[in-house]
Each structure stands twice: as structure tokens, then as C-alpha cells.
Amino acid sequence: MPRNWDEHFAQAAELDFTPSPLLVEAGEMLPAGRALDLACGAGRNALYLAALGWRVVAVDSSPNALRILRERAGGLAIETHLADLETGSFAIEPAGYDLVCDILYLQRDLFPRIREGVRPGGVAAVEVLLAGSRPRPFAMEPGELRAEFEGWKILYYSESPPPGGTHATARLIARRA
């Protein structure tokens, strides 16, 4: 882990709870159902989806982030799980979700489980940093994200800095057949 995320959330005075624009687009494509938010942090995306009526499973390795999420959730339908995705301590239920989102978290060996976790007709929404001119840890090469979803219906794909962002990302919304 490149930084101590639990410490980050414990010391964060101002957290941004604006949902990812990619997730906003994905969340509006489908009727509310069951969603999985991987590496959810303090829950900006989980809170947004739950406010739309989604039943959200939110997973993160930071107790402080999940505490913040639970405090902000009120009566929203959000189930939190403290788990380190890198150790496999959270099992993604096969065909268990209408929407699986993975926003700015890269763990390459998680992609097969993400694909398997989306119900037929469901959607994956993924945004990852791009390596650009020099390889970086936790960044993908151009075209690499799209290749992970070969055989899926690509509803949206872009490789550029996101609106208001400075680092290039690959953004994908893909429907499972």
C-alpha cells in the first residue's frame, strides 16, 4: 500500500464527498439494484448510489474510512465490510451485483472477480490511473483497462484527464452479456 489510508482518513479535516462523474453516469443507466463499491474510502460513491435507492456493499481496508461512511449514511442502505482486498479477505459474490464500481483503485488480479461479480445485464464502472510516458506503480497502460473487459458491451470508454483532473485516467462502463 503506497500510503497509510487509515491514517489519511483519521487526519482528513475536509473530505470530498462528490461522487465520481463516471459513477454518476453509470448509476443513472440502470434501475437501482445491488451495488458493490470496492476500496470505497469514506464512501463518496456508496453514499451517492444509496441516495438513489441502490443497496450498496462498501468495502475498504481503513476502519476510519468506514467509520466516516457509517456516520454519514444515516438510514441509507449501505452494508460496510472491513477487508483488505489484496489478501482476498472479501469474497465478491459471483453474479451478485447489478453494478460493481472500482474507482481509482488498481489491483490487477481483482478484475476476474469483478467481472464474475456482475450479474448478466449488469454493469462494471472502473476508473484507474494511466501510466503515461513513464510506468508508475498502480497505473495501467493505455488500452489495458479496455482489454480487461473484452467480450463485454462497452457503453463508455475514455483515456484522458477526468473533468477538473490533472492525471490521465482510463474510465470504463461495460455491460455483461
Per residue in 118-155, pLDDT (tens digit) is 999 999 999 999 987 566 778 999 999 999 999 999 99
Q: How many domains does the chain have?
A: 1
In 3D space, the residue among 157, 56, 63, 145 whose CA is nearest the CA of residue 106 turns out to be 145
pLDDT averaged over the chain? 90
- The verdict on residue 2 lying in a domain is no
pTM: 0.89
pLDDT band at 1 (very low <50, low <70, confident <90, very high): very low
How confident is the model at residue 16, as a pLDDT?
74
Could you give the count of Cα atoms lying within 13 Å of 122 in the half-sphere of its Cβ?
A: 22
Q: Range of 56's domain?
A: 17-175
- The verdict on residue 144 lying in a domain is yes
Element (H, E) at 34: strand 34-38
Whole-angstrom distance, CA of residue 26 vs CA of residue 20: 10
How confident is the model at residue 12, as a pLDDT?
56
H helical segments located in 3-96: 5-11, 21-29, 44-51, 63-73
pLDDT band at 29 (very low <50, low <70, confident <90, very high): confident
- The verdict on residue 34 lying in a domain is yes
**Residue 45 belongs to domain with CATH number:** 3.40.50.150
- Res. 91: pLDDT tops 60: yes
In 3D space, the residue among 171, 2, 158 whose CA is nearest the CA of residue 101 turns out to be 171
- The verdict on residue 3 lying in a domain is no
Question: Regarding beta strands 55-60 and 97-103, do their DSSP bridges make them parallel or antiparallel, or are they unpaired?
Answer: unpaired
- The verdict on residue 160 lying in a domain is yes
Q: Which residue has the higher pLDDT, 23 or 162?
A: 23
- The verdict on residue 6 lying in a domain is no
- The verdict on residue 12 lying in a domain is no
H helical segments located in the chain: 5-11, 21-29, 44-51, 63-73, 111-117, 144-148
C-alpha separations of 15 from 5, 8, 44, 45, 65 in Å = 13, 10, 9, 13, 10
Q: Which residue has the higher pLDDT, 99 or 131?
A: 99
How confident is the model at residue 22, as a pLDDT?
95
How confident is the model at residue 110, as a pLDDT?
97
Question: Regarding beta strands 97-103 and 118-129, do their DSSP bridges make them parallel or antiparallel, or are they unpaired?
Answer: parallel
Q: At what angle do helices 44-51 and 21-29 cross, to 10 degrees?
A: 30
- The verdict on residue 30 lying in a domain is yes
